Every structure is written in C-alpha cells, then in structure tokens.
C-alpha cells in the first residue's frame, strides 16, 4: 500500500468511528433522527473516499454527498 491508500484507509476508519458515535448518541435522544437523505449523503462521501484513486469519480461522489447534505440541512431548517 502506498501512502495515499493508507491515508484513505485511516480517513474511512475515522469516519466510521464518528458515524458509530453519532448513531449511538442519536439512539439515546429520540427527538431527532437522521433522514434518509442524510444517510445517503454520508454514503456518497464514504464512497468518494473509497474510490479516491480515480480523482474524477472520488471527487464527484464526494460532491454529490455534500450537495445532498446541504439540501437536507436546508429542508430541515425550513420545516422547523
């Protein structure tokens, strides 16, 4: 494994740990749950990290994930 693959593996591991912690905290608080769009956005960002070897695909997937997250945030702010 070269250096960039090690960085990608570490970042995926860190994001997975953050996701587990966030879901654990969310289970304790039942007032707000993740929307399906937020989960899909998180999945796209992870896929972008996973396919980071090909920059076009990796950045495209990350971009889609960020756009979906922003759309979800705007929809949630308008509903409250």
pLDDT in tens, 17-49: 887 877 776 666 665 677 899 989 989 998 888
For 41, counting Cβ atoms within 10 Å of its Cβ (0-12 exposed, 13-18 middle, 19+ buried), the class is buried
d(CA 75, CA 71): 6
The verdict on pTM exceeding 0.85 is no
Give, to the nearest 10 degrees, the angle between helix 3-28 and helix 36-50: 160
Give the three-class secondary structure for 42: helix
């Amino acid at each position: 494994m070269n250096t960039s693959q090690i960085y990608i593996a570490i970042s995926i591991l860190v994001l997975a740990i953050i996701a587990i912690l966030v879901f654990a905290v969310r289970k304790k608080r039942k007032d707000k749950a993740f929307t399906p769009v937020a989960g899909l956005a998180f999945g796209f960002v992870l896929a972008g990290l996973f396919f980071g070897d090909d920059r076009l695909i990796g950045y495209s997937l990350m971009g889609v994930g960020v756009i979906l997250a922003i759309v979800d945030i705007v929809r949630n702010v308008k509903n409250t």
